[in-house]
Amino acid sequence: MDTLVLGGAGFAGSHIARELRTHGWNVSTADIRPSHEHGCHTTLDIRDERALRGKLRGCDTVVNAAGVPDPSSVSVRTLNSILVGGARSLIAAAESEGVRTLVFVSSGVVYGDTGEVSADETLPLAPTTAEGRAFAEAERLYGQWASAGEGRRLVVLRAAELFGPGSHARVSRVIASLVNSGMVSLTPTVIARPLASVGTLARAARAALELNPPTGEPYVLNVADSPRLDDHELRAVVRSIAKTAPLALSLPGRRLMARAGRAGEAVRASGLELPRRLERFALDARPSAELSREKLEALLPERPSLEESLRETVSWVRAHGMPSGPDHAIPIAERFVPSESEAEEDTRRVVAVVVTYNRAELLGVCLGALHSQTRPLDGVVIVDNASTDRSGAVADAHPIDADVVHLNRNVGGAGGFCTGMAHALLEHSPDFLWIMDDDTVPAPDALEKLLEVECKLDVHASVLSSLAVWTDGRPHPMNSSRTRLGTSDAELDRYAQLGARPIRTASFVSALIAAEDVWEHGLPIADYFIWSDDFEYTGRLLRDSHGFAVASSTVEHRTRKFSNAQTNPGSRFYFDVRNRLWALTKTESFTPIEKVLYGGKSALGWVQTLVRTRADVLPVAMKGMREGLFTSPRRSSVVLAADPMSATEIRALEASIDSAERSRRALT
């Protein structure tokens, strides 16, 4: 039977394919990049299930060596998309085509930092980085595949840091700095990691397959040629092999390394962006586990030693030098985007969440527009904010058949959206939540246009925002979306061709929000009541993610006047001041620089409002400023205490998100 090596044009995959061919295996390869090796090769994305099914047809064995060459150069979403999303696509294709044996090239980073304990294959996984967590989740998915079908075999190779001929990674750069330079060499990295030659990995893959591993459970093998080495130790070995001893200084000590790792985490948490070299240093400064090699030595007792493998790499570096950039560098999209001809039936579940208060007539118009969408909704949740008119009755009787939540107390738009989103997530299992006020009237194709753009994007979109216009067609000043600072002209042009504009915040007047981001980042803060709740919430979602304004998706925002919130705010000016201060001083939704910029713009707007109203709103402004600076918002479940069912739903989501956040902090 045939064998397919995914990632076959990459460093590890190409060596594995060559090793298997040398020993008589019938091997084909596939990769996102073209291959310069002899043999059958297909260019495809591991996340493309349809292409995988075609390539797997007739294959009995698959080796998955597809990954990200440099994890520090891509986002966490891209890393998860390749490793975890790729695992899901491969498993689905393998089940469809009857693949019986699967080899997954994982990493020793799944063990985390075990201190002085040597990690053998039975040690529980405790990853401390995004890369480690992605590899661990992929292993879990492959393990489920192996146990779910009769006769399925799974081999998991947990490799140390790979090096060898053809590598442009860290070890080869260290070697090049020693071999090709007689000058002082200051390395930007300090590491303490075990090493594995790519030749050892390739031999281990072949030997494990020939061993005919047991079915139904993973056969796990650590692949390492050395104990943990820091830069001093590695350089000493290389100098001995290379017969050269130029002066080479490196930052010493594993204590310094551990401190650097913690410092890098702290800097990233502050919202500051590290320069690329310092970011790489912070990542490398995190130690890896010492990998037990007993099982590998029993499987490959006569493999080349670390020194022999390093000698081979030294010879290759002397012969080829080191290029300025990685070989065959191809940008990896954050998500796979199928061509229009390959697009399958839209299975995304979209649930609208509408908050209403004493606007029975407008609510009826809004629901009628939702009922007439060219792309039908999968559900509608309406939150009646203790209306005293017929709004609740209109919601109950409308043919759209909405799930109506009647509150006992008016908790404002913020509390209403918090309630409705929690209820929708728990009761309707959506992929997206479409958020809007009751005075919003979407065009018939508003949702269709949002989803069209979402399909075309090669990055995950946490928020997609419609263009809100007033009754005369002018863009509404109350609902403008802020373009993301620092977006290059090239990026603006690229997304403009898709009908999108990168944004930093969005309005709740038609915002399509990915449900997975709500599960990760939580709900809007109910205590904001009205105004700036959408500013803080979308700012929170988009701090480290992508959001886009979609001009082709239009909604009519039927306010009484064509104005923004600060034109004639009256007593509501209190909420504007308090909530904006809460958002900028009591949350991490914005980076320090953004807080300064948005804070300055807000202060200027407040001064203009005071001048325009002749200081009539000064007392409420002072009250808002005092509470914004010296109080903090209450938990949303406390705000909704008058509605026990809603409070319970919000508390359930808060507990789930808090638990996930504690786990993440413990890991990092």
CA pair distance 137, 459, nearest whole angstrom: 21
Q: Report the pLDDT averaged over residues 11-20.
A: 92
CA pair distance 557, 511, nearest whole angstrom: 13
Alpha helices in 353-466 (DSSP H): 360-371, 391-397, 412-428, 446-456
Angle at 39 (CA atoms; ends 37, 41), nearest 5 degrees: 85
Q: Among residues 366, 346, 368, which one has the least CA distance to residue 354?
A: 366
8-state DSSP, 28: E
85 membership: H or E segment, kind and range? none
Q: What's the confidence (pLDDT) of residue 178?
A: 67
Q: Among residues 454, 463, 453, which one has the least CA distance to residue 433?
A: 463
Distances (CA, A) of 181 to 33, 82, 174, 322, 466: 32, 37, 11, 12, 57
pLDDT greater than 50 at residue 256: no
pLDDT greater than 90 at residue 62: yes
CATH architecture designation of domain 2-320: 3-Layer(aba) Sandwich (3.40)
Dihedral in degrees, nearest 10, Cα atoms 331, 335, 337, 338 = 110
SS3 401: coil
Domain boundaries, given as residue ranges, for the chain: 2-320, 346-564
Q: Report the pLDDT averaged over residues 111-128.
A: 85
What's 105-131 look like in SS3?
EEEHHHHCCCCCCEECCCCCCCCCCHH
Q: Report the pLDDT averaged over residues 257-273.
A: 47
215: how many CB neighbours lie within 10 A of its CB? 16
β-pair partners for 222: 158
Q: Which two tokens stand for residue 392?
A: 């609740």
Q: Report the pLDDT averaged over residues 559-576.
A: 80
Q: Among residues 118, 330, 151, 148, which one has the least CA distance to residue 222?
A: 118
Q: What's the confidence (pLDDT) of residue 612?
A: 83
β-pair partners for 103: 63, 155
Q: What's the confidence (pLDDT) of residue 257?
A: 45
Just give the CATH number of 346-564.
3.90.550.10
CA pair distance 460, 513, nearest whole angstrom: 11
Residue with tokens 């005092």: 626
pLDDT band per the 50, 70, 90 thresholds, residue 653: confident
CA pair distance 387, 394, nearest whole angstrom: 11
% of the chain surpassing 90 pLDDT: 46
pLDDT digits (tens, 9 = 90+) for 165-177: 877 676 776 777 6
8-state DSSP, 215: B
CA pair distance 431, 429, nearest whole angstrom: 7
Q: What's the confidence (pLDDT) of residue 170?
A: 65
Phi, psi dihedrals of residue 432, rounded to the nearest 5° = -140, 145
SS3 186: strand
Q: What's the confidence (pLDDT) of residue 75?
A: 75
% of the chain surpassing 70 pLDDT: 84
CA pair distance 598, 607, nearest whole angstrom: 14
Q: What is the model's pTM?
A: 0.71
Q: What's the confidence (pLDDT) of residue 105?
A: 96
Phi, psi dihedrals of residue 192, rounded to the nearest 5° = -145, 85
Phi, psi dihedrals of residue 22, rounded to the nearest 5° = -60, -30
Q: What's the confidence (pLDDT) of residue 281?
A: 40
Weakest mean pLDDT among 249-263, 363-377, 518-532: 249-263
294 and 301 in contact (C-beta within 8 Å)? no
Phi, psi dihedrals of residue 333, rounded to the nearest 5° = -65, 150
CA pair distance 9, 29, nearest whole angstrom: 7
Distances (CA, A) of 340 to 92, 313, 345, 431, 453: 21, 45, 11, 21, 12
Residue with tokens 């904006």: 580
Q: What's the confidence (pLDDT) of residue 329?
A: 57
Q: What's the confidence (pLDDT) of residue 339?
A: 63
Q: Between 17 and 334, whose confidence is greater?
A: 17
Q: Which two tokens stand for residue 552?
A: 């082709």
Q: Between 501 and 653, whose confidence is greater?
A: 501
- DSSP letters along 238-287, please? HHHHHT----EE----HHHHHHHHHHHHHHHHTTPPPPHHHHHHHHHTSP
Q: What burial class does residue 282 get, using C-beta atoms within 10 Å of its C-beta: 0-12 exposed, 13-18 middle, 19+ buried?
A: buried
Give the total residue count for the chain.
668
Weakest mean pLDDT among 9-18, 340-349, 440-449: 340-349
Rg (CA), the chain: 28
Q: Between 188 and 205, whose confidence is greater?
A: 205
Q: What burial class does residue 150 get, using C-beta atoms within 10 Å of its C-beta: 0-12 exposed, 13-18 middle, 19+ buried?
A: exposed
CA pair distance 99, 84, nearest whole angstrom: 19
Q: Report the pLDDT averaged over residues 341-351.
A: 74
Q: Between 593 and 325, whose confidence is greater?
A: 593
Q: Report the pLDDT averaged over residues 1-17.
A: 90
288 and 261 in contact (C-beta within 8 Å)? no
pLDDT greater than 50 at residue 327: no
Highest-scoring range by mean pLDDT, 266-275, 323-332, 628-637, 653-662: 628-637
Taking phi over 0 as left and psi of -120 to 50 as alpha, with beta for the rest, 631 belongs to beta
pLDDT digits (tens, 9 = 90+) for 26-43: 999 999 888 777 778 888
What's 567-584 look like in SS3?
CCCHHHHHHHHHHHHHHH
Q: Which two tokens stand for residue 494?
A: 């690229």
Q: What's the confidence (pLDDT) of residue 661?
A: 58
- DSSP letters along 424-438, please? HHHHH--SEEEEEET
560: how many CB neighbours lie within 10 A of its CB? 7
139 and 218 in contact (C-beta within 8 Å)? yes
Weakest mean pLDDT among 230-239, 434-443, 580-589, 622-631: 230-239
pLDDT band per the 50, 70, 90 thresholds, residue 231: low
Q: What's the confidence (pLDDT) of residue 181?
A: 54
What's 466-529 look like in SS3?
EEEECCCCCECHHHCCCECCCCCHHHHHHHHCCCCEEECCCCCCCEEEEHHHHHHHCCCCHHHC
pLDDT digits (tens, 9 = 90+) for 356-383: 999 999 999 999 999 999 999 999 999 9
Distances (CA, A) of 35 to 14, 32, 204, 326, 394: 8, 9, 23, 15, 63
Q: What's the confidence (pLDDT) of residue 154?
A: 95
Phi, psi dihedrals of residue 347, rounded to the nearest 5° = -105, 5
413 and 533 in contact (C-beta within 8 Å)? yes
Q: What's the confidence (pLDDT) of residue 280?
A: 42
Q: What's the confidence (pLDDT) of residue 477?
A: 85
Q: What's the confidence (pLDDT) of residue 235?
A: 72
CA pair distance 404, 400, nearest whole angstrom: 11
Q: What's the confidence (pLDDT) of residue 308?
A: 87
Q: Report the pLDDT averaged over residues 612-635.
A: 89
Q: Between 251 and 405, whose confidence is greater?
A: 405
Q: Which two tokens stand for residue 366?
A: 């809004």
Distances (CA, A) of 16 to 7, 9, 190: 10, 10, 29
477: how many CB neighbours lie within 10 A of its CB? 15
CA pair distance 59, 27, nearest whole angstrom: 9
CA pair distance 542, 564, nearest whole angstrom: 23
pLDDT digits (tens, 9 = 90+) for 471-508: 998 999 888 888 888 888 888 998 999 999 999 999 99
CA pair distance 100, 552, nearest whole angstrom: 47
